[in-house]
């Protein structure tokens, strides 16, 4: 191996995720994560080993590289895997091609033109329905027929590590008939994953489920922050607005679908039978272990949730097929959130709303303090990885600290 990769690294030889990084002497450019290092793709391109216009690797987003198509991006990934394992490859004896991740700054990997958030975990949707509606009829009538979603705000999607300010807005106190204004008292995380599209379509075109994965470049971890008290007051009749658009975080490395191929699994049985345009063949879910930790300011992190992406009722192929069935066009770099990922067990619920059950079951942190929702000074950390035997493919983490409202 050209470079040492620590045991249990998220960024093993089997992964090769793409991102944008910079250092004090290098402008933002494309790279791939290898263990604790980054391979500088713009520097590799100077060796004249790629058969495409390598100017795309010197740009500060991956959009143009991704737009070259999977025939090229897959070959780049395979070539890198080969070069890393051949002792006499073009990478040998060239330490200047590698940068320690600890010495680099990560940047948003893509320009996100549009963002859609789905609501595709049946456990999460059921839990929310039990809390806010009739427990005997927790799911709305359309939920098992369509992958429910809404169009979100792309401008406030930010990179892991950037702190957020507690949002302010209107809320309705219990028993009151008039709203009040102030900082949200029920700030929440939502454990999600996001996928990024790698091909454009034209207005009027739709994508069938058996072609959907050709349009999906890769995946990231996604924290879709939510202000539950603002949401409760505003969401009828048009759904999420200020409760969601103040910030969402993504992880910096995009893990390709090719890297996740070994971790395909069957999804939950869908009953009633879906309409023909949502039918699919093969295994479209992925076994990705997920966890969420909360680190109060000055204290140790407490893991509060362990879940898995395989629980999702609606898969990515169905989500993209439904999104475009009306002719909605998509673009390279668009982001699609999975919706909160909850499992059946209480410790697998993907939000504080569920974990603390609307504040009735507070969680205890390692410093002895309790959490019903996220407090100022808390840092929320999400991690994800897939493991099958010795093959490990991970996403790193997405984390952010909450600051008091401005």
Is the four-CA dihedral 320, 382, 358, 246 of positive or negative sign? Answer: negative
* β-sheet bridge partners, residue 191: 223
The reply to whether 26 and 103 lie within a common domain is yes
> What is the mean pLDDT of the segment spanning 296-324?
98
pLDDT of residue 178: 97
Q: How many domains does the chain have?
A: 2
183-204 burial, b at 16+ Cβ within 10 Å, e below that, comes to: bbbbbbbbbbbbbbbbbebeee
The reply to whether 357 and 229 lie within a common domain is yes
Domain range for residue 382? Answer: 115-403
The helix or strand, by DSSP H or E, that contains position 44, with its residue range, turns out to be: helix 41-45
The reply to whether 52 and 200 lie within a common domain is no
Q: Which residues contact 163 (CB under 8 A, 6 or more apart)?
A: 400, 401, 402, 403
CA nearest to 127, candidates 373, 313, 342: 342
Do residues 12 and 393 lie in contact, with contact meaning Cβ atoms separated by under 8 Å? yes
Do residues 118 and 193 lie in contact, with contact meaning Cβ atoms separated by under 8 Å? no
The reply to whether 279 and 394 lie within a common domain is yes
Question: Residues comprising the binding site?
Answer: 117, 119, 133, 190, 192, 224, 231, 235, 244, 248, 340
Q: Could you read off the pLDDT of 15-56 as tens digits, one per residue?
A: 999 999 999 999 999 999 999 999 999 999 999 999 999 999
The reply to whether 96 and 122 lie within a common domain is no
Distance CA 330, CA 17 (A): 23
Write a three-state SS string for 248-265. EEECCCEEEHHHHHHHEE
pLDDT of residue 134: 85
Q: Does residue 25 form part of some domain?
A: yes
What Cα–Cα distance (Å) separates residue 318 from each residue in 147, 186, 257, 259? Answer: 7, 32, 16, 20
Question: Residues comprising the binding site for substrate?
Answer: 119, 133, 231, 235, 340
pLDDT of residue 132: 86
Domain-ending residue, one of 72, 90, 107: 107
Domain-ending residue, one of 91, 107, 123: 107
Domain-ending residue, one of 83, 107, 131: 107
Distance CA 301, CA 114 (A): 33
Q: Residue 318: how many CA atoms within 13 Å on its side-chain side?
A: 27
Structure tokens at 348: 């697998």
CA nearest to 99, candidates 190, 168, 161, 30: 30
Active site residue 14: no
The reply to whether 282 and 239 lie within a common domain is yes
Chain mean pLDDT for the chain: 97
pLDDT of residue 133: 84
Task: Choose, from 37, 124, 249, 385, the residue flagged as catalytic.
Answer: 124
> What is the mean pLDDT of the segment spanning 314-326?
98
> What is the mean pLDDT of the segment spanning 151-177?
97
Do residues 259 and 384 lie in contact, with contact meaning Cβ atoms separated by under 8 Å? no
Q: Does residue 8 form part of some domain?
A: no
Q: Could you read off the pLDDT of 110-158 as tens digits, one per residue?
A: 999 999 999 999 999 999 999 988 888 899 999 999 999 999 999 999 9
Question: Residues comprising the binding site for Ca(2+)?
Answer: 117, 190, 192, 224
Q: What's the CATH code of the domain at 386?
A: 3.90.850.10
């Amino acid at each position: 191996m050209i470079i040492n990769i620590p045991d249990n690294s998220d960024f093993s030889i089997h992964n090769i995720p793409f991102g944008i990084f910079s250092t004090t002497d290098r402008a933002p450019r494309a790279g791939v994560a290898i263990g604790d290092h980054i391979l500088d793709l713009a520097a590799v391109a100077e060796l004249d080993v790629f058969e495409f216009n390598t100017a795309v690797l010197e740009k500060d987003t991956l959009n143009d590289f991704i737009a070259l198509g999977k025939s090229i991006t897959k070959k780049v990934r395979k070539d890198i895997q080969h070069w890393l394992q051949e002792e006499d490859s073009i990478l040998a004896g060239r330490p200047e091609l590698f940068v320690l991740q600890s010495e680099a700054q990560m940047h948003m990997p893509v320009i996100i033109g549009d963002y859609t958030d789905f609501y595709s975990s049946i456990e999460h949707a059921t839990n929310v329905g039990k809390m806010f509606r009739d427990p005997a009829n927790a799911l709305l009538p359309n939920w098992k027929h369509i992958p429910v979603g809404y169009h979100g705000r792309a401008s406030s999607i930010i990179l892991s590590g950037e702190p957020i300010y507690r949002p302010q807005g209107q809320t309705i106190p219990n028993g009151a008939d008039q709203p009040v204004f102030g900082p949200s008292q029920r700030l929440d995380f939502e454990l999600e994953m996001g996928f990024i599209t790698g091909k454009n379509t034209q207005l009027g075109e739709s994508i069938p489920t058996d072609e959907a994965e050709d349009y999906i470049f890769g995946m990231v971890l996604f924290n879709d922050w939510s202000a539950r008290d603002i949401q409760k007051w505003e969401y009828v009749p048009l759904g999420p607005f200020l409760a969601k658009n103040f910030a969402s975080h993504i992880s910096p490395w995009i893990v390709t679908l090719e890297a996740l191929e070994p971790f395909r699994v069957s999804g939950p049985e869908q009953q009633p039978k879906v309409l023909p345009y949502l039918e699919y063949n093969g295994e479209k879910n992925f076994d990705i272990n997920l966890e969420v930790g909360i680190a109060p300011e000055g204290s140790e992190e407490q893991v509060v949730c362990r879940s898995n992406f395989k629980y999702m009722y609606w898969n990515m192929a169905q989500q993209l097929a439904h999104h475009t069935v009306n002719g909605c066009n998509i673009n390279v770099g668009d982001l699609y959130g999975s919706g909160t990922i909850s499992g059946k067990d209480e410790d697998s619920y993907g939000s504080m709303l569920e974990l603390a059950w609307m504040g009735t079951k507070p969680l205890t942190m390692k410093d002895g303090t309790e959490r019903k929702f996220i407090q100022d000074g808390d840092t929320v950390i999400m991690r994800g990885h897939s493991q099958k035997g010795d093959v490990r493919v991970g996403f790193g983490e997405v984390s952010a600290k909450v600051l008091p409202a401005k």
